Structure 1
């Protein structure tokens, strides 16, 4: 897929406009969105992603469109899992509900910048060293095993890292969020940072860790940097509204970690098989590809990912419903 410079520029310009509109809306009226508002925005961003895929199909063919949809769905599902940790961060720092939109939006902007850097670095590595797929594949399988071991304990995914502890010591902090601004001026004229700064650092550094999982995963689906970037953009853009839409439903997705672990392991194995098929390492088969290693087509990857996430979601909701019925019965007795 040959993506011209003007297509990249147009895409980046559209992204800046969308972010500017979001910042304007949230900045002028900080509030907790209603279910209707959140649902409308989530539907809008999903519709944009689907329309973008159709546009790719028309202009570039079915393969790029299939790779985009598969990558977007993978990144979107991983982003939903990240919302668990964002909820923990919000609770840990007692962020008022009306300011959580602003925190999430700025966190998304930071995530886009960091992931853009990761994508550029990953694309350069892949272009120069095809054997990096071996590392990506092993890392994704390792991540899947770790995800299964951690289970539902999302507290382990967020710990106050050295950057957060340093910021708490260095910056003069106020005790309240005030009006949701980053700084406040006291009656004595002293300027203090609000706890919002620490929350931003927590969200940003946590997403940096998440990117270590998600970027290798999507490179296992497509090597085209443009598709990797746009899939990440569409996965992140509706995340803020999805946070408020799902709400308590997130706690009911008890099998989501298992589903995501399977998806990551599947992509890891797919990457490793592809690395074997296109092998260039001299100590493996004399530097020649192993043709017995199958190449998994994109349509099969899409089916596996949709099927796995669908089964995990349905099983989670069934289990949660049964658990609630048991609790009600025990309470009645």
Structure 2
């Protein structure tokens, strides 16, 4: 019987500190967080035997300085490959294959109101374009649409733009990304063309959110809200606006470090730390019924 190798926290912390100082979009905060991790290591705060426990302790410290929820030391039960981003990609692929490509539910409610659930992620566009196009084309004939993001934990900004293409009438500036060390922004626009039929930019649109809605899912809700295109119904979201990448720092641990920040062209800011605030606040469990009622009332009032 092989004795398990004792967890060595120092190499994990050293590599996490290196990634922070080299990659994090906010260099000054990176220095503060790195100093905190090194101090906590020296104090013995990370002298634990379990990688999952170490991930919990380090994540709490990573997020303690500026509350960035994308700064994490993620634990993976199965060993993860050392390639950059590979751990996250493998987990995404498993979720993609078991969620009909990220559109697990399409339903027509009374009154011609359709629901499309996008969960558990907005997967990379090269995977998700076909299933999302099929789902969004199917609901394009509805009189009103409810997009359910309550169980969506984030994903690909390119996929956000792709989905917006079905919900708008023309190419639209959605967001701008500023990378570490760069003064010029990389703009995100909805596509001028989408495969299939658009729901379009005129019919009633509602977006459901909850306290699990995060990252790219928040961007989708926020972009549509700021454009005045959708009514957001439900709970405030988690508040993560910084795109990040993951690096394996231990066979079961992945450090995720944000390398950019989002700026909305309408608001001039983003949802970091505060979340997307619903236009119609209510419990997430009640938001579908609430949005359906609002959609029926809006349809009844139309000429």
Question: TM exceeds 0.5?
Answer: no
TM-score by length of structure 2 reads 0.21
Which structure has the higher relative contact order (CA within 8 Å, separation 6+)?
Answer: 1
TM-score by length of structure 1 reads 0.20
Q: Answer 1 or 2: which has greater strand percent.
A: 2
Q: Answer 1 or 2: which has greater helix percent.
A: 1
